[in-house]
Each structure stands twice: as C-alpha cells, then as structure tokens.
C-alpha cells in the first residue's frame, strides 16, 4: 500500500514538473509550460506551438523595453479599455470585475496597451514623402480630384475713411500691381512687399487647394504667368496666379495613412527582430 502511495505521489510530482517545465529562456527570463498552456492546448501542429513560443519571446523583449522607456499603460487607459470591453458585452464594469479571470484579463489589456505605446514610440518617425504618396495613391485619375497651388496678393486695408472708398482704392491698387506683373514684374516680390496676408513671407504661395468653386475654377483656367481678375477672399480682395496643378485620389488621406501604417508595421517588425538578435534565447523544442 505504501509503495502504491509513493508511486502515485511520485507520478503526480513528475506530472507537475512536466507541466511547469521550462520551454524557453530569454535573457534572464524563463517561459514555462504553464504560462502558455491555454495557447499550446489550442495549437494543432508543432509549427503552431513554436509560433506561440516565439510570440511569447517577442512579448518579453518588448515588455523589457517598455520598462526601460517608461511606456507602461496608464491606469486611465486600462480602465477605459475594460469599460469598452464591458460595453461590448452589455454588462457593467462591476459585473466584469466579478469574472473569475478578470485579473488575467486586466493584465492582458495592460500588456497590449503598453506594447501599443511602444509601437507608437518606435515608429513615430515613419512617414512618406508627399510626392511619393501621390504617385502611389493617384494611379486612377477617374477617382481623383484636381488641386492647384497658387500665389496671391491679398489686400484688406487702405487708408481711406469709408468702406466703399476702401474697396475702390484696394481694387485700383491691385489693378496697378497686376499691370506691372503682366509686363514682367515678379509676382513673388510684389507679394512679399504688398500682400497683407501672412503668406506674404513666402511670396503669397498657398498650400494645395481643391478646384471646387467658381473662384478656384477661375484660377485653374489661368495660363502660365497670367494674373487673375480681382476676387474676394476671407481675408480681403486679391489677385492670384496659378503655379502648379495635380490630381489626387479622393481617398488620398486614407491611402496615405494606409501606406504609413504598413511601413510602420514592417519597421516595427524589423526592430523587434533586432531585439531578438541581441538577446540570449534558448528554446527547448523537445518540450513543446
């Protein structure tokens, strides 16, 4: 009877050891079977199990970096995420907190938010040149909008007594400038000298504007070096000249964001690979 009891105790002890055996070592950290048991049990192949271990290794390396850079999830972010989870499941946050695995859920949420903080930090410099984005996103002009870039001279004030005289004086002044520019004077220099809009600093040049109004259609129709008729802006009366034109995809912003997202993913993935290359990693494949 004692021999049987000893055998059972030894069997149970060995089973516990097997269940909590070390699967991998990552620098000074270990990955035990118990820590990934639920995931391992749902894996169908050896390859799937190795991927689970590999992901756990990546998480450990990332969490170490998060600690070094002080990028841990804040309490507010964690609570907001838990509240969102409770709303999605149509239960109160108190009911969610009574869930038997609530602590594990909270830890998982904290880990995911922390890793997201790290991803944002590492990829904050990832961008795309505007012209490159246009080339990628504007292949099909049938789904595009036209934009133009112009230079403007905007006048809003003149030293006259009433509004009517002011408008007449401004128009006369703009017409005078227009004639000089048509004869070869520099629009840019005149804008820097006379425009009363902040854009005077760079010669009155605007950002890209969509051709979608009578004024922008008029400006779009201008020939090279041609000066427009006087038109009204939110800042005063103006004359303008067309500099460039381009066609941009209607969903250009979304397209550009998608390109940056994909590049950020690739950049971050390579960065994590770099962490692995510098780390001491040992995987016990026979125990997986």
pLDDT single digits (tens) 79-130 = 999 999 999 999 999 999 999 999 989 999 999 999 999 999 999 999 999 8
User: What residues does each domain of the chain span?
Assistant: 1-68+278-288, 71-122, 133-249
pLDDT of residue 140: 52
Q: Which residue has the tokens 């066609």?
A: 247
pLDDT of residue 246: 87
User: Phi-psi region for residue 182, left (φ > 0), alpha (ψ -120 to 50) or beta?
Assistant: alpha
pLDDT tens digits along 199-236: 999 999 999 999 999 999 999 999 988 999 999 999 99
pTM over 0.75: no
Name the band, by pLDDT with cuts 50, 70 and 90, for residue 267: very high
pLDDT of residue 143: 67
Whether residue 18 has pLDDT greater than 60: no
Q: CATH code for 133-249?
A: 3.10.50.40
Look at 72 and 138; give whichever has higher pLDDT: 72
Whether residue 19 has pLDDT greater than 60: no
Q: Which residues of 125-147 are buried (b: 16+ CB within 10 A; e: fewer)?
A: ebeeeeeebbeebbeeeeebebb
pLDDT of residue 139: 62
pLDDT of residue 82: 93
Average pLDDT over residues 248-260: 83
Rounded to whole angstroms, how far apart are CA atoms 109 and 132? Answer: 37
Question: Nearest 10 degrees: CA dihedral of 249, 253, 254, 255?
Answer: 50
Average pLDDT over residues 267-282: 96
pLDDT tens digits along 141-199: 556 788 999 999 999 988 876 777 888 999 999 999 999 999 999 999 999 999 999 99
H-helix or E-strand spanning residue 229? none
**Residue closest to 26 by CA, chosen among 224, 212, 275:** 275
* Bridge partner list, 237: 155, 232
pLDDT of residue 126: 95
pLDDT of residue 209: 93
Name the band, by pLDDT with cuts 50, 70 and 90, for residue 7: very low
Average pLDDT over residues 246-274: 89
pLDDT of residue 44: 85
pLDDT of residue 15: 41
């Amino acid at each position: 009877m004692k021999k049987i009891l000893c055998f059972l105790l030894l069997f149970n002890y060995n089973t516990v050891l097997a269940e909590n055996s070390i699967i991998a070592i990552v620098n000074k950290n270990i990955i035990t079977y118990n820590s990934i048991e639920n995931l391992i049990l749902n894996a169908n192949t050896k390859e799937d199990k190795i991927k689970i271990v590999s992901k756990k290794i990546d998480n450990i390396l990332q969490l170490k970096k998060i600690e070094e850079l002080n990028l841990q999830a804040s309490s507010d972010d964690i609570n907001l995420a838990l509240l969102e989870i409770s709303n999605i499941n149509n239960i109160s946050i108190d009911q969610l907190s009574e869930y038997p695995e609530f602590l594990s859920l909270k830890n998982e949420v904290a880990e995911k938010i922390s890793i997201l903080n790290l991803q944002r930090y590492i990829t904050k410099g990832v961008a795309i040149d505007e012209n490159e984005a246009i080339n990628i996103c504007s292949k099909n002009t049938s789904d595009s909008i036209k934009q133009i870039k112009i230079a403007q001279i905007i006048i809003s004030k003149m030293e006259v007594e009433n509004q009517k005289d002011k408008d007449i004086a401004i128009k006369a002044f703009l017409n005078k400038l227009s004639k000089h520019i048509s004869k070869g004077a520099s629009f840019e220099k005149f804008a820097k000298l006379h425009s009363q809009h902040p854009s005077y600093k760079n010669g009155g040049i605007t950002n890209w504007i969509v051709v979608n109004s009578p004024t922008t259609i008029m400006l779009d129709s201008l020939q090279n070096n041609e000066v427009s008729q006087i038109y009204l802006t939110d800042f005063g009366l103006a004359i303008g000249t067309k500099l460039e034109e381009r066609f941009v995809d209607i969903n250009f912003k979304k397209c550009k964001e998608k390109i940056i997202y994909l590049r950020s993913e690739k950049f971050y993935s390579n960065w994590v690979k770099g962490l692995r290359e510098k780390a001491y990693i040992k995987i016990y494949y026979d125990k997986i």
